[in-house]
Amino acid sequence: MNVLLVYVHPESRSLNGSLKDFAIQRLEHAGHTVRVSDLYAMNWKATLDADDNTARQPGARFDPSMDSRQAFENGTQRVDIAREQDKLRWADGVILQFPLWWFSMPAILKGWVERVYAYGFAYGVGEHSDTHWGDRYGEGMLAGKRAMLVVTAGGWASHYEPRGINGPIDDILFPIQHGILFYPGFDVLPPHVIYRTSRIDEAGFSKACEALGQRLDDLWTADPVPFRRQNAGDYLIPELTLRPELAPGRSGFDIHVERD
């Protein structure tokens, strides 16, 4: 299988750097082909702006969505964007690996998503009408591929439990798991989170590798998070609210996961 590892850390000798090296070895040893997008090493341009469409008319008003659409359709995207889209097309599995910074992904990775997820590639795909609101949330250009987050966090696991002060980790990661990965069609695996990173020593690192290695071994067999698919009947269209008879009386992120 082909695995794209999008790796985010500014220091190669960091915990994340070591985990990335371990992951590559483990995956290659299992016979997979691995490509790495090391965003800091690539000096990835994090800001989406008018320069991303190489065919813009000078002085024309910049429209982030429409410029993206035009550049994607006409093949005038910047080459760094097109190259990452090619890697996504090539991949059977995609891993996003990053340290949790301010309860989310580092800005450089957010910028990778904003720029690589072009209109027509990751959104604005499929028929858009009052009866079919696009191919998304379970359908789309990246359907049939698997994705997994590998996240390191300074906080303890208990801080991220359902009653922990930071809020549940599944809620914190929901915008990434559901909004960024499930949206364009990925089957999204449960995230792999490594907590309390400042306490990691040699023994802790071995344990962390063992646990990560198991997740990598299970990449193709583990059950994805059963997010509800937009176009499978669970939602009213065009309101796009969950049908009242499903998860009655409940609200919040969790209703979008099929628990029955």
Ligand X SMILES: Cc1cc2nc3c(=O)[nH]c(=O)nc-3n(C[C@H](O)[C@H](O)[C@H](O)COP(=O)(O)OP(=O)(O)OC[C@H]3O[C@@H](n4cnc5c(N)ncnc54)[C@H](O)[C@@H]3O)c2cc1C
Number of Cβ within a 10 Å radius of residue 51: 12
- Binding to ligand X (CB under 6 A) within 34-73 occurs at none
Structure tokens at 53: 């469409």
Comparing CB distances to ligand X, the nearer of 9 and 26 is: 9
Contact between 253 and ligand X per CB under 6 A: no
Count interface residues toward ligand X (CB under 6 A): 20
- Closest approach, Cβ 202 to ligand X, in A, equals 5
Contact between 15 and ligand X per CB under 6 A: yes
d(CA 192, CA 131): 36
- Closest approach, Cβ 148 to ligand X, in A, equals 17
Contact between 20 and ligand X per CB under 6 A: no
Comparing CB distances to ligand X, the nearer of 198 and 221 is: 198
Contact between 202 and ligand X per CB under 6 A: yes
Contact between 205 and ligand X per CB under 6 A: yes
- Closest approach, Cβ 109 to ligand X, in A, equals 13
For residue 150, which of 201, 189, 198 has the smallest C-alpha distance? Answer: 189
- Binding to ligand X (CB under 6 A) within 69-108 occurs at 99-103
d(CA 170, CA 168): 5
Structure tokens at 142: 């990246």
- Closest approach, Cβ 10 to ligand X, in A, equals 9
Chain position whose Cβ is nearest to ligand X = 154
* Binds ligand X by CB under 6 A, chosen from 2, 12, 76, 197: 197
> x/- binding map, residues 136-175, to ligand X, per CB under 6 A?
----------------xxxx--------------------
Q: Which stretch binds ligand X (CB under 6 A): 135-143, 183-191, 192-200, 239-247?
A: 192-200
d(CA 113, CA 106): 11
Instruction: Give the binding site for ligand X (CB under 6 A).
Output: 9, 14-16, 18, 99-103, 152-155, 197-198, 200-202, 205
